[in-house]
Structure 1
Amino acid sequence: MASSLTCAGVVWAFLSFLCAAASCVGFFMPYWLLGSQLEKSVSFGTFRRCSYPVRDESRQTTVMVEQCGRYASFQAIPSAEWRICTVVTGLGCGLLLLVALTALMGCCVSELISRTVGRVAGGIQFLGGLLIGSGCALYPLGWDSEEVRQTCGNLSNQFELGESSS
C-alpha cells in the first residue's frame, strides 16, 4: 500500500491516534472526582457517575446503587458548567478522533493527505485541543452543586476537596 505521508507524517498519525484515544477514554470515564457517600466510594465525571444514592420508597430510606451510568438526561448533569464542559470536551474529542482516523487512512491511501490537508488537519487538532482544555477548565466551576457537596462535604471548594461527612 502506498502512503501519502512522510516518516514524520506517519509518526504524527500514530501520535494523533494515541492522543485522541486517551482523550476519549478520559472523557468517557467517570473518575474525574472521587469521594464517598453513605460509606461507599463515589466517583463522577461530566456526564457519568458511579455509585449514587436512590430513595427506596418501600423502606423509606436512601440506598446506594453501586454501578456506573450516565445521568438520566442532559438536565440531570449537576451544573450548567458541567453541561458546557460535556459538550465542549466531547466536541474536542470528536475533532481529535476525526483527524487521527483521517491521518491513519493517509498511511494506507496514496494522495489522501497533501501539504494543505495536513496543515488544515493540524489546525483542527489545535482547535480540538483548545476545546478539551477549555472544557476541563470549566469543570471545577461546577463544584458548588449539591452532588459535589454530598460527596466531598460542605467545606469543599474549587481548590479544597474537603471531606465527606457521610
Structure 2
Amino acid sequence: MASSLTCTGVIWALLSLLCAAASCVGFFMPYWLLGTQMDKPVSFGTFRRCSYPVRDEERQATVMLEQCGRYASFHGIPSLEWRICTVVTGVGCGLLLLVALTALMGCCISDLISRTIGRVAGGIQFVGGLLIGSGCALYPLGWDSEEVQQTCNNSSNQFQLGSCQIGWAYYCTGAGAAAAMLLCTWLSCFAGKRQKQYPY
C-alpha cells in the first residue's frame, strides 16, 4: 500500500487520531463539572447537562429528572462564558479531527502529505489545541451562574468550585488538546516524505 508518510508520520497520524478522539469525546460528554442537587448527582458540560429540576404538577413539587440532554437553545446555556467555550472548543475539536483524518488518509495515498503539508497540518493542530485550551480556561468563569450555584450549595464562584468537583471529561478534553499542541505539532515536522525532484 502506498503511503506519503514516514515511520514518524504514521505515529503522528495515530497519535493525532487519539488526541482528536479524546478531545471530541470529552467535549461532547456532560461530565466537566460534578455536583449534587436535591440529593441527586448533577453534571454539566459546556452545552449539555445531566439531571435537572422540573415541576411535578400532580405532587405540586419540584423533582429532579435524572436524564442527560442538551440545552433547548444556544441562549439556554447558563452563562456567556460557557457559550463562548462551546463555540471555541467545538471549532478546535473540528480542526483536530480534520487533521487526524487527513493524516490517516496519508497512510494510504502516496504524494498526499509532503514535508510542507505536514508542517502546515501541525500548525493547524497547534491552533486547534490552543482553541480547546482557551475553552477549558474560559469554563471556570461560568461557575458563578445560578444553575451551577444551585448544584454547588450556593458556594461556587468564578474559579471557585464550592462543593462541586471537576469531572473526567474536562481532563480528557484538555489532555487531548495538550498532546496535540506539544507532541503532534512536533511530530508533524517529520511526518511527510521528501518529494521526488523531477528534471522538468
- TM-score interval w.r.t. the shorter chain? over 0.9
The residue aligned with 1:61 is 61
Paired residues for 1:6-155 under 5 Å: 6-155=6-155
Aligned residues: 164
In 2, Cα distance between the equivalents of 1:159 and 1:122? 32
Q: RMSD of aligned C-alpha atoms?
A: 1.1
For the 8 Å contact 2:143–2:161, the answer to whether it is kept is no
Deviation per CA, 1:61-82: give whole Å up to 9, x if none: 1111111111111001000000
TM-score, reference length from structure 1: 0.95
Partner secondary structure for residue 151 of structure 2 = helix
TM-score, reference length from structure 2: 0.79
In 1, Cα distance between the equivalents of 2:149 and 2:90? 25
Q: 1:58 deviation in Å?
A: 3.6
The AA in structure 2 aligned to 1:115 is R
Identical positions, percent: 85
The AA in structure 2 aligned to 1:7 is C
What residue ranges of structure 1 are gaps of 5+ in the alignment? none
Q: Does residue 157 of the first structure (1) align with residue 152 of the second (2)?
A: no
The AA in structure 1 aligned to 2:152 is C
Deviation per CA, 1:118-165: give whole Å up to 9, x if none: 11100100000000000110000001100011000222223432237x
What residue ranges of structure 2 are gaps of 5+ in the alignment? 165-200
Partner secondary structure for residue 98 of structure 2 = helix
Higher RCO (CA-CA < 8 Å; seq separation 6+): 2
The AA in structure 2 aligned to 1:84 is I
